[in-house]
Chain A
């Protein structure tokens, strides 16, 4: 590995992590505040801008309040960093870092755009082109639960503790559904490399919008048939990501109404801000993963990708940057969806959350795997085997639903 390669990797790490993903965190905080305000018929932060009048100019530029998150961050820097007496210091200090770092590490496998090429040297717009993309994301992203659990435990007081325990339980119940739900997708593409998955979607249609790029191996009917397991997988995966990132319908670890502030009750100043950042960074990465797996990643779609990739000035093929813009647009749209969900869906009760994870999503994801396997393998199988397979699948589904129904606790009839 020569110096140039190391330099390229360093440049990619710095630009993609610190100049692309990290600024998305304050941006999503801004969107969260503005969008929630608009939903609730309010205005939201629209004042903070560049204070030119302090420098002697006549007018301030308020920029729709876009500078607000920076002001918030500055405020948090200036606040007193208070460490209570009763905490377990080492873990108390470690916990905030443990929530932010995993979220930022997972950035490295997300493909931001198609490869760009300059002077015949092609470079992929992904930091680490790992062949185990989604598995890496799951293994690293689930480390962030340690941060939350440790924060809850080391705070050494009851509300953070309950928050931490809830977070652990929640993470365990949704990790399984999360992993199982994308098995159909991986079976369909036959690859674990996220770059390759996105490339296939660009060539043959997004997983949830397979309307172009048909050929002999990718017929329209087969793609449309796979749309159903893909949609189920998308649903389960998206909802599990919501649970994984502790976002609103599942924000039990930090629900303010029950647990004061949940796991970060005892934290102040930048330590608190790091939890905040970790939550939003996890949201950004979660959206990036959903987009990459189901909604075509950087692909513009409708067969335009091949055209964009060929755009060049001299030796400089810059289509990758256009694709990156497309990816960022999709990402922002999905973040807005996250926010819409937060301000629409009320919080689940704890037992409902557990039931949804273990009884509904786990089984649904499992059945979905078999369904997807049947659909993927169908072209190579004889009609009889397909028939037997589908009958077995129906029986299995019925059995699971029956078990779920029987095990459900019937509400006791009360007499008034």
Chain B
């Protein structure tokens, strides 16, 4: 690497005395303080501030309305418009999941069932939210569009067991999703 020699800037008398810079600094900080107290800080509006600085004060105010379309929150299972669970236990999400957060126990659909051609449905579907990294790979890989990343971000629990979402909880978060199905389509 080439050596870069820097010339120290030559200061004039005013800069050497330094008091001008001090006063400027005081004015700057005080302007910030006053603006922050009045809730008029730069960016206060776009950041939906609480009226003090630019901070949104969390439990009372939430970012929910401002979440972008592409926000990746907790993964959840969805049902289709007829209330059937879309998941066919192909386990692709389980295999792709980088932190191995998903655990599926598949079960067979009996041959006398009208939907025997679907072959499998999940008996249990657990997502360990202490492991999930919200990468969205499960959503991308799912051929049946059965798993989606929702906008829920407040996943809390007092025990490790609370942090494992079972099938029931996942459908609770997920709800229904209208649209293309593959195996559940009678015509295919």
Q: Which residues of A contact B (CB under 8 A)?
A: 35, 37-43, 340, 343-345, 411, 413-416
Contact = CB atoms under 8 A, between A and B. Distances in A.
A37 B54 CA distance: 11
B28 A41 contact: no
Interface stretch (B30-38, B150-158, B162-170, B172-180): B30-38
B25 A344 contact: yes
Nearest to A416: B5
Interface of B: 4-8, 22, 25-26, 28-30, 32-33, 35-37, 41-44, 50, 52-55, 57
Given A38-B37, A39-B29, A42-B53, 20 more contacts: A37-B53, A38-B33, A38-B52, A39-B32, A41-B32, A41-B41, A41-B42, A41-B43, A41-B53, A41-B55, A42-B54, A43-B53, A43-B57, A340-B30, A343-B29, A345-B22, A345-B25, A411-B8, A414-B6, A416-B5
A38 B53 contact: yes
A39 B57 contact: no
Contacts of B53: 37-38, 40-43
Contact of B26 (A35, A40, A42, A340): A340
B16 to A, nearest CB: 10
Nearest to B53: A41
Contacts of A38: 32-33, 36-37, 52-53
A414 B7 contact: yes
A415 B3 CA distance: 12
17 contacts: A35-B33, A38-B32, A38-B53, A39-B33, A39-B36, A40-B32, A40-B36, A41-B32, A41-B36, A41-B44, A41-B53, A42-B53, A43-B50, A43-B52, A340-B29, A345-B22, A345-B25
A42 B55 contact: yes
A40 B42 CA distance: 11
Contacts of A340: 26, 29-30
Nearest to B7: A414
B54 A41 contact: yes
Of A38, A41, A345, A411, most buried by chain B (CB within 10 Å of CB) is: A41
Contacts of B25: 344-345
Contacts of B44: 41
A380 to B, nearest CB: 35
Contacts of B26: 340, 344
